[in-house]
């Protein structure tokens, strides 16, 4: 097997400008942001004047601190509360969150593009008049849901956070996809999947981006190392007779993509298809660019 390295390449509104000394400098629309990056062992190439001109800097106790909830933003007065960004045929809002990120994850765009090609091919070659059904678990602010729906899928979007669902609604409205087939649900992923199995509901594709740790809407605990194998082994009971794909993404990069690869391969062993896996990285917009690994993934596609 070969390890894939995916990079977001189609962005106009996002870019990695520079990195080094435990930080990364990124462009989100018209603004620059400095955020901690423990993997950036090298030196910064751009001047301190450019770095200091960032509209926002996330300050953590240590440059090597990878606790997402540890630290706070230092924001300049010229920064809007939130602003519009675009990717392909969707629009969405960016805003600094208490968890270091800007309300979405631009590095995941290669998954969106891959899924849209699978959806388009399925619609073109299917004799069914019904759109493919996609389940998006741990769906957060909804960009993967919007992108899949914009290519013709019927999407069920599940997240444990009411705030995230509200954010996803705002993005849907901004993209003028109010009439798109997207069902938004605030629910615990494991509880939802078990209910769907009891209801005999089926899906043609599943997208998962589980956190390392989390809480359901009623305080349910989620721990990746314990709960992910349980959740994945339930997925075949949710799949239709002709599944299209499964995308499993994880920011727990202290693990290896091999762990996701062989777990997904085992789960899907009765289906005719292929599993591929690897890392996602972002690439600097410079000569001789450096790359930063952001996530690991495994994904299955039907033959």
- Domain limits, the chain: 11-80, 106-302
**Residue 123 binned pLDDT confidence (cut-offs 50, 70, 90):** very high
- Is the CATH number 3.40.50.2020 carried by domain 106-302? no
Average pLDDT of the residues in 126-143: 94
pLDDT at 60: 83
> What tens digit of pLDDT does each residue of 263-277 get?
999 999 999 999 999
Edge-to-edge strands of the sheet including 245-250? 3-6, 273-283, 291-302, 245-250, 205-208, 133-137, 154-159, 182-186
Give the torsion sign (CA, 148, 151, 153, 154): positive
pLDDT at 64: 43
147: its two tokens: 């992108």
> What single DSSP character describes residue 184?
E
> What tens digit of pLDDT does each residue of 47-69 get?
999 999 999 999 986 544 455 55
**Residue 70 binned pLDDT confidence (cut-offs 50, 70, 90):** confident
- Range in 210-214, 223-227, 249-253 with the lowest mean pLDDT: 249-253
- Range in 26-30, 237-241, 252-256 with the lowest mean pLDDT: 252-256
Give the torsion sign (CA, 176, 181, 182, 185): positive
pLDDT at 63: 46
Average pLDDT of the residues in 87-111: 96
How far is 183 from 55, CA to CA, in rounded Å? 35
pLDDT at 163: 95
CATH architecture of 11-80: Sandwich (2.60)
Average pLDDT of the residues in 193-215: 96
**Residue 71 binned pLDDT confidence (cut-offs 50, 70, 90):** confident
pLDDT at 69: 56
Q: Is it the case that residue 41 has pLDDT exceeding 90?
A: yes
Cα 232 from chain centroid?
17
Q: Among candidates 120, 70, 76, which has minimal Cα distance to 100? A: 70
- C-alpha distance from residue 104 to each of 93, 96, 120 (Å): 9, 10, 24
Q: Is it the case that residue 303 has pLDDT exceeding 50?
A: yes
Average pLDDT of the residues in 26-48: 97
Average pLDDT of the residues in 180-202: 97
How far is 225 from 54, CA to CA, in rounded Å? 37
Round to the nearest angstrom and report the end-to-end CA distance of the chain. Answer: 17
pLDDT at 61: 67
pLDDT at 67: 54
Average pLDDT of the residues in 75-84: 94
Q: Is it the case that residue 96 has pLDDT exceeding 60?
A: yes
pLDDT at 188: 97
Average pLDDT of the residues in 133-157: 98
């Amino acid at each position: 097997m070969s390890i894939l390295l995916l990079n977001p390449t189609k962005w106009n509104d996002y870019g990695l400008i520079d990195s080094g000394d435990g930080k990364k400098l990124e462009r989100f629309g018209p603004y620059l942001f400095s955020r901690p990056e423990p993997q950036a062992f090298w030196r910064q190439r751009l001047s301190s004047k450019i770095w200091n001109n960032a509209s926002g800097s996330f300050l953590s106790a240590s440059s090597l601190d990878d606790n997402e909830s540890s630290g706070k933003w230092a924001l300049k007065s010229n920064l809007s509360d939130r602003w519009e960004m675009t990717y392909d045929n969707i629009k969405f809002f960016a805003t600094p969150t208490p968890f270091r990120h800007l309300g979405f994850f631009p590095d995941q765009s290669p998954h969106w593009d891959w899924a849209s090609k699978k959806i388009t091919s399925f619609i073109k070659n299917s004799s069914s008049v019904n759109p493919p059904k996609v389940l998006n678990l741990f769906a957060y602010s909804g960009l993967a849901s919007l992108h899949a729906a914009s290519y013709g899928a019927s999407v069920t979007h599940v997240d444990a956070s009411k705030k995230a669902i509200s954010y996803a609604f705002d993005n849907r409205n901004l993209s003028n996809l109010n009439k798109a087939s997207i069902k938004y649900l605030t629910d615990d992923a494991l509880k939802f999947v078990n209910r769907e199995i009891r209801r005999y509901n089926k899906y043609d594709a599943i997208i998962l981006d589980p956190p390392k740790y989390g809480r359901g809407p009623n305080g349910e605990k989620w721990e990746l190392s314990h709960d992910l194998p349980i959740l994945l082994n339930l997925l075949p009971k949710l799949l239709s007779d002709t599944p299209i794909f499964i995308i499993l993404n994880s920011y727990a990069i202290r693990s290896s993509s091999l762990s996701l690869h062989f777990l997904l391969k085992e789960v899907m062993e009765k289906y005719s298809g292929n599993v591929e896996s690897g890392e996602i990285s972002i690439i600097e917009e410079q000569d001789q660019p450096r790359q930063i690994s952001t996530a690991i993934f495994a994904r299955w596609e039907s033959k």
